[in-house]
A and B are shown apart, each in its own frame.
Chain A
Amino acid sequence: MFENTLDNYAHSNNLTNLNPYFKILLGISTMIVSLVSTSPVIPIVIALFMSILIIFKAKISWNFYLKFFFIPFGFGLLTFFFMAVFFGVGSPILELGLFNLTVTVDGFNLGFLVFTRMLGGFTCLAFIALTTPMTELFSVLELVKIPKILLELAMLMYRYIFVLLDEAINMYHTQETRLGYSSLKKSIKSMGMLGSNLFIRTWLKGEQTYIAMESRCYDGSIKTLKKNEDIKDIGTRNLAGLILFEIILVLGVYFTGNYGVLIL
């Protein structure tokens, strides 16, 4: 339950050392194309392309990726059914024979479009999450002029998330071995104990961190050493490829227009 952070994968895949600006530019711009698409064709292409990149280029184990992909896929499918049944005003094409529920053409098309957009967007997000370590993301965020204080808070938080997760996992396992989660009432009590203890530990950690920082000449700003990767290091070939790819996708969006799966 705690182990599924993507951080391990972000630090050890075949694309880790690729220029972070390039990866993020690719992820975000493709995500936007998927979002503005008005037909399900291009989002499906994007989802396939990104999945291929993740499995074959970044060499993330497909076993893990499929498991990871299953959650949004299931949720998307649920949304699809929900929209197909409840969000139609046009002519019914299928009687469910239950509570007078019917599937309509426009509801079906809308549901399918949203479903594919979710898959397209999710694979782009997964691409960024699985290939780019957080530390590199911070340096990219610095470039787009995110306030410094926010970045410093985020960096400190990032560090402490893992410290606290370790403690939370330990506490959780100890409670579980003592049957702390055997019923709903016990679960609430155990989790409450866990939460409060964690908060107190957190507080102590915060105070100690301040002392440690102050003894190392902390003057209100945190200075870090950065890898000197530059946005210019993307390389013309990569950049040209990226632009060409996005142009093809945008053209695809333009030509597929409002094409739906069902036309009546």
Chain B
Amino acid sequence: MHIMEGFLPWQWCLFWYLIAIPVVVYGITRIKKITDKNPETKPLLAVSGAFMFVLSSLKLPSVTGSCSHPTGNGLGAVLFGPAVASVLATIVLIFQAILLAHGGITTLGANIFSMGIVGPVAAWLVYKGIKKIGWGSSIGIFFAALLGDWLTYVTTATQLSLAFPIPTFGEAFIKFMVIFAYTQVPLAIVEGLLTVVIFEYIMQLRPDILRKLRVIGSEKAQDSPEKVLEVV
């Protein structure tokens, strides 16, 4: 859920920028390390980012009548790990602001925090957790995308109610959550299903890619995501 340009008061714009920037900088140093060692990962990362953008511009006719689109964040986080996914999501958000006028420049920090940091980290943790219990990859992907989405909305609602705590933060939070719940709960389920379908087709057609990324197979699946890209 993009927060529109001009929606947040300037103090909060600044605040979310200050929180988002260190994380993105950390992600950039990771990417730099990876690409310095294996220059061939740079075009791969770039096309994956472009893929995330294109995926987010596909509109899915949704149950609530409004149009929704997949965010691709869950998939990105599971495939590349949260640090790399957050940098890719940042670039995607900038492109969405400038090419599609979704989101905005002053609210970029807040949007990066909810969609580029909280979403991917949650999705990645959920996926790793479910893998550890020993359930299948598909179930893991479904819950990763679903919870990644939901947590993104919870974060957005928190950001909005922090900015407009009227009469109190708690009451505003409940109002925003109720409004989101009507539209976003079914949407997140649809996105979860969609991500599973995408993942299963990739598994059928080109399992070697997933094996390269160590999403499935090999015992070392617990490796840090950065190592994953070094192998590619």
Contact = CB atoms under 8 A, between A and B. Distances in A.
Given A122-B6, A128-B98, A153 B46 contact: yes
Nearest to A130: B101
A119 B9 CA distance: 14
Given A125-B105, A203-B206, A206-B43, A196 B51 contact: no
Interface string A144-156: 0001011011101
B13 A129 contact: no
B184 interface: no
Contacts, number: 225
Interface residues of A, number: 84
B18 interface: no
A35 B43 contact: no
A191 interface: yes
Interface stretch (B87-95, B111-119, B147-155, B214-222): B87-95
Interface stretch (A91-99, A182-190, A232-240, A256-264): A182-190
B197 A86 contact: no
B198 interface: yes
Interface centre among B6, B7, B39, B55 (most CB of A within 10 A): B6
Contacts of B54: 161, 164-165, 168, 198
Given A125-B5, A184-B63, A189-B197, A157 B101 contact: no
A119 B6 contact: yes
A36 interface: yes
A192 B164 contact: no
Nearest to A134: B98
A8 to B, nearest CB: 11
Interface in B64-119: 70, 87-88, 91-92, 94-95, 97-101, 104-106
Contact of A200 (B25, B104, B193, B202): B202
Interface string B39-52: 11011111111110
> What are the nearest 10 A-B pairs in CB distance?
A192-B197, A121-B6, A156-B46, A196-B201, A160-B50, A121-B5, A206-B44, A195-B198, A209-B43, A206-B47
Given A34-B6, A35-B10, A172-B58, 14 more contacts: A2-B57, A6-B100, A82-B179, A87-B164, A122-B104, A129-B99, A147-B25, A153-B87, A161-B53, A168-B58, A196-B201, A198-B51, A209-B46, A209-B47
9 contacts: A72-B101, A89-B167, A122-B101, A134-B99, A147-B32, A152-B42, A156-B50, A158-B95, A192-B197
